[in-house]
Amino acid sequence: MNRIKVLDVTLRDGGCVNDFNFGQDYMEKILSAQEAAGIDIIEMGYIDDKDGSKSGRTKFISDTSIKESILKNKHPGIKYVAMIDYGKYDVNNLAPRSEDTIDGIRMAFHKKDRFNMLEKAKIIMDKGYEFYIQPMITMRYSDAELLELIETVNEKLADASGFYIVDSFGEMRPNDMERMLNLVDYNLTRKMTLGFHSHNNLQLSYSNAIAMLQFPTTREIMVDSSIMGMGKGAGNLNTELLLEHLNLFYGGNYTVQPLLDVIDKVINQLHNEFYWGYAPEYYLSSANHCTPSYASYYFNKHMLPIDQVGELLSMLAEEKKISFDKAYAEEVYLEYNQSKTVDDTRVVDDLKSEISGKKVLLVAPGRSVGSVMDRLRELIDNPSVFSVGLNNDFGMSMNYMLTTRVEAYNDAVSEGKNVIVPSNISKGGRGNVKVLDYSKWIDVDEQTHDSAAVIVLNLLRKCDVKEIMLAGFDGFSVDINENYFDASMRHPYNAEEAQKRNEYHKKLFSRVRDEGIKLEFITPSKYE
């Protein structure tokens, strides 16, 4: 155990889950548990002078903010470090290391900055800090490039404390692990610690860490982990599992119980609000060698089926896969959908004719629909009402179901129902299927709005509708059980995403009213 060290990243990598907003109480409880467990090295968070805070968050505006807000008493035998992403903090502003400051800095950098970081590293080391080299997405380096970096580090940063293999996208398999360990261990200066930071997209963090522990080397090694695997997307290696393994097989003397206590009192609460852990979309991000942010964006923002998420990830340009670009993600999404065009002139004319002179009833799949079923049936049976169900017909005989979901479309077609569908879902119009040109009926600002509600409201405006009755337009809640009438449609939203959706739809309905269309909400709605 003298040559094995555990570095816990909960306060830093875990912060990617909740925008580092742990709050002072949770920050202190997590730190206390890490210290009580006997963790060797604790990462306090990021230092970022562009997006940092003085307190309450673990993305700090300066190194002194760490000392002033949380690191007030250092435990003997434990080292405290922070991470800096290359280019996000002026290291000249670091205070010199002292007994009451953090002990080390880990600098993460992309391959393009692998030599630019050398000057920053020297400044950090000159100020007395231990320095750890974090080449992000190490798998993106060819053997020649990685050897070149190692040779440069050996020559110019020989006094650095550690060099890491970083599996940023959780894509490393056993053969990759073996290749990287052999290559780095053989060529890196012997006095430098070899570290490993993993993500759990393929559920291989634990086995890869064990492989590193079993690797035949005499050098010091360091393994990163987080409590309950808390981290972006699929998360990280679980600290509590790693410590137990080290206690059982390597003579470790860690105390796991404080971590279990903080899981019970803190981490579980965070997990309920900000989910992390294995999901198919994170497997797909690993398989497509890209940041999981693209997968979660397509899955959560656009609520796409998993096969379409995979198709979109396969379209990403190689140079864009390394870091998430929201504007680019939207470009790809639009390209993917707008390539499926149709001439819907006749379809719109036919619908306009069918609707002419009638009130329109729109039934969205909000949970409130269950409370007004009898009234809805009366309206649907009224010949002066034209009824449309959105992504569901609720077992009622509506004139049409407009759907933006492949599964709902396939089910409706197989049952012979009248369906309105955008061309990104289907181009094949049969007698009872009316296909709309996707690109004509969506809204695009800084992102794409292509929900069934957006498409149907834009369509009805074109059809000169004068009055719309609305049921089931509840709005979005962070409580997954509040969002949909049909449990199979329920989808988790964080507070920010729910608020954005509600604000957008409220503005959309306001625009419809401003055009002189009368809106009547039959059920309560956040959009009123």
pTM over 0.85: no
Q: What is the pLDDT at residue 490?
A: 60
Convert the pLDDT of each residue in 362-414 to its tens digit. 999 988 998 999 999 999 999 999 999 999 888 899 999 999 988 888 888 88
Q: What is the pLDDT at residue 465?
A: 96
Q: What is the pLDDT at residue 307?
A: 80
Q: What is the pLDDT at residue 200?
A: 96
Segment 502-524 mean pLDDT: 94
Segment 436-465 mean pLDDT: 92
Segment 100-120 mean pLDDT: 97
Give 306's pLDDT tier (boundaries 50, 70, 90): confident
- Give the phi and the psi of residue 399 in degrees, each rounded to 5: -65, -40
- Give the phi and the psi of residue 225 in degrees, each rounded to 5: -160, 170
Q: What is the pLDDT at residue 488?
A: 64
Give 442's pLDDT tier (boundaries 50, 70, 90): very high
Q: What is the pLDDT at residue 413?
A: 87
360 or 500, which is more confident: 360
- Dist CA 469 CA 512 (whole Å): 13
Share of the chain above pLDDT 70, in %: 96
In this structure, of 116-125, 212-221, 431-440, the range with the lowest mean pLDDT score is 431-440
Helix axes 117-126, 143-156, angle to 10 degrees: 30
Picking from 353, 300, 359, the residue whose alpha carbon sits closest to that of residue 324 is 300
Q: In the 3-class helix/strand/coil scheme, how is 36-49 assigned residue by residue?
A: HHCCCEEEEEEECC
In the block, residue with structure tokens 């800095």: 105
Convert the pLDDT of each residue in 251-293 to its tens digit. 999 999 999 999 999 999 999 888 899 988 899 999 999 999 9
Q: What is the pLDDT at residue 264?
A: 97
Convert the pLDDT of each residue in 246-261 to its tens digit. 999 999 999 999 999 9
Residue 492 has pLDDT above 70, yes or no: no
Residue 340 has pLDDT above 90, yes or no: no
Q: What is the pLDDT at residue 300?
A: 72
DSSP letter for each residue of 409-440: HHHHHHTT--EEEETTT-----TTEEEE-HHH
Helix axes 326-338, 306-315, angle to 10 degrees: 110
Residue 503: HSE in the Cβ half-sphere, 13 Å Cα cutoff: 6
Convert the pLDDT of each residue in 12-66 to its tens digit. 999 999 999 999 999 999 999 999 999 999 999 999 999 999 999 999 999 999 9
Bridge partners, residue 359, by sequence: 385
Convert the pLDDT of each residue in 208-230 to its tens digit. 999 999 999 999 999 999 999 99
Residue 195: HSE in the Cβ half-sphere, 13 Å Cα cutoff: 26
Q: What is the pLDDT at residue 515?
A: 94
Distance of CA 425 to the CA centre of its chain: 25
In this structure, of 103-107, 191-195, 302-306, 488-492, the range with the lowest mean pLDDT score is 488-492
Distance of CA 349 to the CA centre of its chain: 42
Mean pLDDT score across all residues of the chain: 93
Residue 453 has pLDDT above 90, yes or no: yes
Bridge partners, residue 467, by sequence: 518
Contacts of 58 (CB under 8 A, 6+ apart): 11, 12, 15, 20, 22, 27, 44, 45, 46
Residue 428 has pLDDT above 70, yes or no: no
Q: What is the pLDDT at residue 206?
A: 97
Give 427's pLDDT tier (boundaries 50, 70, 90): low
Token code pair at residue 265: 């009192």
Bridge partners, residue 444, by sequence: 448
**CATH code of the domain occupying 4-273:** 3.20.20.70
Q: What is the pLDDT at residue 202?
A: 96
- Strand 443-444 relative to strand 448-449, pairing: antiparallel
Q: What is the pLDDT at residue 405?
A: 87
**Residue 231: count of CB within 10 angstroms of its CB:** 29
Residue 93 has pLDDT above 80, yes or no: yes
Convert the pLDDT of each residue in 309-324 to its tens digit. 898 999 999 999 999 9
